[in-house]
Structure 1
Amino acid sequence: MMDMKRPSEQPDPDWIGDMLDDLGKAPVPDPSGDLVARVLADAEAHMPPPGGVRPVPPVWQRVVQGIGGWGVIGGLVAATVAGFVVGVGTLDGTGADALWTLGYDAYYDAELGLDAFGWALEEG
């Protein structure tokens, strides 16, 4: 084994191999009875119920797991909200108050604040 107290002038390229050989020769302790009991209890908890039929999870749980989990659902909701906000925000730059034009098909007043869109309505 390499002497760790005295640094060598030339590094030994095989020191890792020697160290791993020493570790391989060391005795491996047996697992404790407590550890074995906990592993077996955990394995038994994951076993299917007697009869071999597992309960079927609800549809919404299968859909969430199929999509990728709650993190992906949160990302989809955030992207949907961001897309809606961006979509509504672009209406302001056009001068079209699209939300106010709903229901004003028969009656149009020039004072409604429909800048450029109002002129298009008047021209037909």
Structure 2
Amino acid sequence: MMDMTVAPEKPDPDGIDQMLDELAALPVPDPSGDLVARVLVDAEAHLPAPGGRVVAAPWWQQIVRGIGGWGAVSGLVAATATGFVIGVGAVGDTGVDSFWTLGYDAAYDDTNLGLDAFGWALEEG
């Protein structure tokens, strides 16, 4: 069992400095000519064709890119849908059903209409 009253050994700062100095003194190998040639060929493959012109992205792609990509767009859609559902649910608890019955005849009332906050379903009486 380890004694908790004794401090663990501290590293020797002089030993670390000496080790880093020895590591820095080692020669660094140059990359092979084959590696350099492959990197240059790959770089040329990614260059645009000579005389080409830059095509502007459509406005919706610029908006998606400006927001942060499709992940950010999906997060905004989820937050919007959640906020809408929470907002509609809050109206249902207040007893204000006239919001849902706009445009209906006065013969309908909330007991016959059966519009609820999350389903918006017409129930038969």
TM-score of the pair, normalised by structure 1: 0.67
Aligned equivalents of 1:57 and 1:38: distance in 2?
31
Percent identity, aligned pairs only, is 61
How many residue pairs are counted as aligned between the two chains? Answer: 104
Residue 113 (structure 1) aligns with: 111
Residue 80 (structure 2) aligns with: 80
Q: For the structure 1 residues 38 and 95, does the alpha-carbon distance in structure 2 shift closer, same or farther, using more than 3 Å as the test?
A: farther
Residue 57 (structure 2) aligns with: 57
Q: For the structure 1 residues 11 and 30, does the alpha-carbon distance in structure 2 shift closer, same or farther, using more than 3 Å as the test?
A: same
Q: What's the offset of the Cα at 1:15?
A: 1.9
Q: What's the offset of the Cα at 1:12?
A: 2.4
Aligned equivalents of 2:66 and 2:12: distance in 1?
53
**Superposed, which structure 2 residues align to 1:1-124 within 5 Å?**
11-51=11-51, 53-98=53-98, 100-104=100-104, 107-109=105-107, 111-113=109-111
Q: For the structure 1 residues 10 and 60, does the alpha-carbon distance in structure 2 shift closer, same or farther, using more than 3 Å as the test?
A: closer
Q: Structure 1: give runs of 5+ residues left out of the alignment.
A: 1-8, 115-124
In structure 2, the residue corresponding to 1:48 is in which secondary structure?
coil
Q: What's the offset of the Cα at 1:68?
A: 1.3
CA shift digits 1:44-95 (9 cap, x unpaired): 2332321252232233222211121111101110111011110111122012
- Deviates most, 79-88 or 92-101: 92-101
Q: For the structure 1 residues 11 and 67, does the alpha-carbon distance in structure 2 shift closer, same or farther, using more than 3 Å as the test?
A: closer
Aligned equivalents of 2:14 and 2:93: distance in 1?
71
CA contact (8 A) 2:64 2:73 kept: yes
